[in-house]
Copies of this chain bind each other. A is one copy, B any other.
Amino acid sequence: MDDLAIPAGKAIAELKTVLGDRLATSVSVRDHHSHDTSRLKPHLPDAVAFPRTEEEVQAIISACAAHGVPVVPFGAGSSMEGHTIPVRGGITLDTREMNKVLEIRPEDLLAVVQPGVTRKQLNVELRETGLMFSVDPGADASLGGMASTRGSGTTAVRYGTMRENVLALRVVTPDGTAIRTGSRARKSSTGYDLTHLFVGAEGTLGVITELAVRLHPIPEAVSSAICAFPTVAEAVEAVIEAVQYGIPVARVEFLDEVAIAGVNSYSKLDLPVAPTLFFEFHGTPAWVEEQARLAEDITRSHGAIGFRWTTDADERAKLWQARHDLFWATKAIIPGYDLYTGDICVPISRLAESIVAARADIDASSLKGQIIGHVGDGNFHTAYLIDPNNPEHLREAEELADRLVERALVVGGTASGEHGIGMAKLKFMRREHGKAVDVMKRIKTALDPLGIMNPGKMGDAG
């Protein structure tokens, strides 16, 4: 890739002098950056840059802007909808060497980090403070990537998503300028909210070079509970009532009967095979006990079969480990098969019917599949088991996932609760957002007139 006749070649040659070995053009490095965890067709970048500082990010973007070369930001590579695939080549900007926790301010409940810091790394560095970073998307994603996809996970019902947990940013915009958004204050009424514009922009408006994120006190006591229900509707009704009652559940996860069967088999548990809720409560010892008791009353009034709760750390760990191992448990249902996942979020009033319809769709298909959900938010995932060598399976899974989204949009929901648009869901942008897509495009053009930032993604929705 040292062909100076092509624009990328010129940018690469210029950047070699800035980055040296940290500008890789080997096929192995480029191959590693050609895909994410989705099943979308990989595409090689022309080179991969590993900047360490904001100044280096500026140099990369300036060189790419000068030669009209695409820049594709890359965090941990754990995105799920094709976000980081460099479909038009160019330079992938991997933030893994921007991995310093710059500042921890316990009094302000915030930490300042570089974008390549992962959530687990941050929580290790917070060990002595009594504080935690709450957002947990499952994968040990980078915070820059989590911010860019507006990630969330199991704790969002209590502590919020990246939308609520990013307080301020530093960003290099597509002309190479470094700006800061937000401040160190918890709230502000000054200026357009650029922080929230870059959070969720999937790298199409600039590169995040620093994040100030909120921290939360580690609760003094934690308790977990589990209960099964005769029907999905009763499980969801129980969640709605618990939330309306004001019980501040820290997590409430739904697993359908197929998921429970998988968990039982894989994690050696003997849970009743029925729609099930996993609860977690955070607070003082007395308060988590009261929360669990209130939740028990509510779930029983909605027909719950048993309600097992525990503050025992080992038993709790075992339960949540089973939840976290669900991916592997499901894969194990048919050895050699892969999972194809769906992700939507609906108003919680429409959640039960949405899950029931998703289940009926799976049952009417030739595929096996399960449904799990962060039900306090109305967000749920389907996972379809497919034979990776059977194109018919892939086609059928795509169809099921699309139908899921179409139904979500009909009931006022969204095409993605937490996995994002990437490339896979570009086709739904206009359906979900209507004419607002034109406003988004005007913003994209205003900030990135050359269209170099992660082209072929959200900024280019049709």
Contacts and interface: CB of A to CB of B under 8 A. Distances in A.
Contact of A458 (B191, B378, B417): B191
A135 to B, nearest CB: 11
Given A244-B130, A246-B217, A287-B287, A187 B443 contact: no
Contacts of A286: 286-287, 290
A419 interface: yes
Q: How many copies does the complex hold?
A: 2
A288 to B, nearest CB: 10
Interface in A407-462: 408, 411-421, 425, 428-429, 432-440, 442-447, 458, 461
Given A192-B205, A197-B443, 8 more contacts: A105-B349, A106-B244, A185-B377, A185-B414, A189-B418, A189-B420, A286-B287, A286-B290
A179 interface: yes
A112 to B, nearest CB: 10
30 contacts: A105-B347, A107-B244, A107-B347, A107-B348, A131-B244, A150-B187, A163-B187, A177-B435, A177-B438, A179-B435, A180-B436, A183-B432, A184-B412, A184-B413, A185-B379, A185-B408, A185-B412, A187-B377, A189-B418, A189-B420, A190-B416, A191-B433, A191-B437, A192-B443, A193-B193, A196-B197, A217-B246, A219-B246, A220-B246, A442-B447
Given A185-B347, A290-B286, A429 B197 contact: no
A201 interface: yes
A156 B187 contact: yes
A345 interface: yes
A200 interface: yes
Given A107-B240, A130-B244, A244-B130, A348 B186 contact: yes
Q: Which of A177, A196, A199, A216 has the most CB of B within 10 A?
A: A196
B348 A108 contact: yes
A118 interface: no
Contacts of A428: 190
Contacts of A284: 290, 294
Interface residues of A, number: 97
Interface in A206-262: 216-217, 219-220, 240, 243-246, 248
Nearest to A181: B436
Interface in A260-318: 282-284, 286-287, 290, 294
Contacts of A432: 183, 190-191
Given A173-B439, A178-B435, A439-B179, A190 B294 contact: no
A126 to B, nearest CB: 13
A190 B244 contact: no
Nearest to A413: B185
